[in-house]
Chain A
């Protein structure tokens, strides 16, 4: 962490009326890290992700990406700089096919949208299908999104985020709404797909501590908009505050 961080949040604050969603948050993420953001409902995890991606503007503090202040930039500009995200409820194009969803992501990434260059040209399709293969979605390529089960939608949501070749990928609860048996295979698929993007920093919001322990290199725990732990999973998950406010283990004892 001594090198210049990829992302740096400095004294970031956000309130919604009387509710403090973020209080003096200081977070630094290095290139290539796999970080999990944990916390109970309302702890401020998604608010933090929304502030990084420009959906919400902080009331105080600054967010820098590769040294550049992105606090007041639009989501679109932030994506263009290299920050992509997936959503807790997958944000897809329901009436389009899986392949067309990927082609839209491809086209948006090119930024200079053409009025005459075909969206379904060979190279774009090849690139889209390569990513679909990595996410085990190739069999669904022709299906419309509205016909897909929840887990497949989650994977597609993440695959689309990866199309823009992000330096920082934010995954908001990638396994929520997925059955317990499907969670690990799904995370295996995601991590395997991310395997060739070693320089991509991944910050994922997660509620399942088994998932966190297995896939994160570092854990940041939130409670009432504050960071109560920031360490490797073994130590972070064993911290008293995390056991009391996040996992609830101390309350049960």
Chain B
């Protein structure tokens, strides 16, 4: 099983994700505010990026969301709109109809999610 997903969130993605999730923290949707608090630009919601890690694993398992039993991630660094995110992962453990996939997400060589571990049902 190979986990690989590439996605480029567009300029307005953080606004759509804010509406969908209810998280309107201005660091995600207001460039001026983000700069005022020392960020280079508005940043992606970490839970949006985690959703890309979830999607990459579900897709690798054949597309059935019921196969995803557990996902844990560590948020590191910051993700930005208009830059490609690459999610990659490989099987770390296998047995009893389940696999553990070690996954990460990076953007421009910067790891934004690391030590992610997905448990997938494969049977």
A and B: bona fide binding partners:
no
A residues near B, CB below 8 A?
none
